Copies of this chain bind each other. A is one copy, B any other.
Amino acid sequence: MKSAIAKSISDHPSESGPAPADVYARIYEAVLDHRLTPGTKLKEVRLAELFGVTRGTVRKAFAQLATMKIVELRPNRGAIVASPSIEESRDLFAARRTIEGSIVDTLARRITRAEVRQLTSLIKQEDQAYRRGEMRAALKLSVDFHRVLADMAGNSVLAGVLDQLVSRTPLVVLAYRDPAQSSACANRDHAELVEALAAHDADRAVLAMKCHLCNLEGQLDLRDPAPGNELATIFGLVPMPKAPASIHQN
């Protein structure tokens, strides 16, 4: 499942190489894969060459990535991978709790057997991906799970809004993952949630969802930074990526 915004990019499908949506997707994937870390400068010409497209195409992708808050667009200074603040990260999870709480509340009352089966199957795939160590696929499936729930609930506006928040989440997770914690992505939570949904128990489903999101947030280190580090955050600088990567430059 693709992000709604990514799909929305005016995309002239075939002909003449990759379109803005492809560039969007490749940059987004690179961010999820840690190949692009927060603060990394994204140069138009370099990316255009790499992807075999014109600068205009890269520019359009940047614009969409900026509305999703994946990159930050600084006038005359180019695009950098966004560095979500701690407060923003907390707010993001809080926002997801209210929206996804509402979504599962609605869904619990009207979910069908077929939908339960679909969700169960998704969890299974996710689980298998984890066991095989395919972290990227697993993350993707885990994220999709939330998008599918939103679609099933049947409110397209709410689904669209959630899509934005869900897309932003991996970035803050990567930015603030507590190294001490395991990144075991709470697959069990998803299973419990589906159980509650299957039982049409709205209250339990809402609780399960909120707990799931709290667990996720709890795996992060969102403590206020020590005064010593403060300067770095004030000026939007990150501690400096350790290893340069394929696209990553300068």
Q: Which residues of A contact B (CB under 8 A)?
A: 5, 8, 10-12, 63, 66-67, 73, 75, 87-88, 91-92, 94-95, 98-99, 102, 155-158, 161, 164-165
Q: A161-B164, A161-B165 are in contact. Are A156 and B91 (CB under 8 A)?
A: yes
- CB-CB < 8 A to A99: which residues of B? 98-99, 161
- CB-CB < 8 A to A91: which residues of B? 155-158
Q: What secondary structure prevails in chain A residues at the interface with B?
A: helix
Which of B10, B75, B155, B158 is close to A12, meaning CB atoms less than 8 Å apart?
B75
The answer for the CA separation of A98 and B5 in the assembled complex, in Å, is: 22
Q: List 26 A-B contacts (CB under 8 A).
A: A8-B66, A8-B67, A10-B73, A10-B75, A11-B75, A12-B75, A63-B63, A87-B156, A88-B156, A91-B155, A91-B156, A91-B157, A91-B158, A92-B157, A94-B157, A95-B158, A95-B161, A98-B98, A98-B99, A98-B102, A98-B158, A99-B99, A157-B165, A161-B161, A161-B164, A161-B165
